[in-house]
Chain A
Amino acid sequence: MKNTSIVLGLSMLLLTGAANADDDCEGSAPGWQPRENLRQQLEADGWEVYRIKVDDGCYEVEGRNEYGSRVETSFAPSTFELMELEREDEDDDDDERDDDERRNYQADENRQQSMPSNGIVKGRPSVSVE
């Protein structure tokens, strides 16, 4: 019985630690800056932002940084301080989903270089965004 209590107590401590570790960003919602401000700031730095969502109290941004690398990053919503940066093409995690994403990304990059093959468009179009 005593052993059970000790094990339970230790488990609770571990769970509390895990919960705190998950909650990466501090500050309450009223102090948050709009995510649109973060988008504008990142785009001004040369980023291409795919999406911004709230995760564990942080703004989680998926996109490409100014060097063209695909990244997943967390920012503090009140200060836009960079909390975590993960470059998806350098991730050593063996998780199957991540591997699939990487393969898709590389295939997509290869497609950027290739010429159209659908028989409708002759040659690669010239494209610009203003």
Chain B
Amino acid sequence: MKKYFVVVGFAMALVFSAAASAREVTLNTQLTNYRGDGAYLAIYLTDSNGVYQGTLWIAGRDSEYYKHLRGWARGSRMRHAEYDGLTGASITSGRTLTMTLNLDDSFIDNGYEIHVDTAVEDRRDNRSDVVVPLTSDGAGKSVSGRGYVKSFTYNF
């Protein structure tokens, strides 16, 4: 019986510590009023050297176009496991994509960066349309993109 409580206690401690190490992060990506088809977006994390760490979201369902999200494609090598369960519809001109996700605490204030790559059919691809460090100080501050992203913000 004593052993049973020890095991249950240990399991609960593991669950609570896992929950405590994840932070809820909300990302807002507003697009400019460009002329053209729906934009494909790749939102992903790199370390401070720009080395790919993981995918947060891919907007756009046709994987044949993913190669145009150039920075992400290069880092992720477009492996299915990198974006399984993390894809949705492309985003049309002027609209805002809002997403909330649980991210490991260790990515915050540790030199990691959020990148947004964008691409539109028959128009220019933008590798790192947005690059922002993922820090407590940067939360809530709006950043302008250099391509189809008008503004990008994140909040904890």
Chain A residues with a Cβ under 8 A of chain B:
36, 39, 43, 48-52, 104, 107-108, 111-130
Contacts and interface: CB of A to CB of B under 8 A. Distances in A.
Contacts of A126: 99-101
A117 B81 contact: yes
Interface of B: 22, 35, 37-38, 45, 53-57, 61-64, 80-92, 95-104, 107, 121-122
27 contacts: A43-B92, A49-B37, A50-B37, A51-B37, A108-B63, A108-B87, A111-B80, A111-B83, A113-B85, A114-B84, A116-B84, A117-B85, A118-B54, A118-B82, A118-B84, A119-B54, A120-B45, A120-B107, A121-B54, A122-B102, A124-B86, A125-B57, A126-B99, A126-B100, A127-B97, A127-B98, A127-B99
A45 B53 CA distance: 39
A43 B90 CA distance: 13
Contacts of A116: 84-86
A49 B91 CA distance: 10
Contacts of B80: 107, 111
A125 B38 contact: no
A interface, over-half SS:
mixed
Contacts, number: 106
A121 B56 contact: yes
A113 B84 CA distance: 9
Nearest to A63: B38
A108 B61 contact: yes
Contacts of B61: 108, 112
A104 B57 CA distance: 19
Contacts of B82: 118
Contact of B103 (A104, A108, A113, A121): A121
Contact of A48 (B22, B63, B90): B90
A130 B96 contact: yes
B85 A124 contact: yes
B102 to A, nearest CB: 4
B103 A118 contact: no
A122 B57 contact: no
Contacts of B121: 50-51
A128 B97 CA distance: 6
Contacts of B90: 48, 50
Nearest to B100: A126
Contacts of A129: 89, 91, 95-98
A116 B57 CA distance: 10
A122 B104 contact: yes
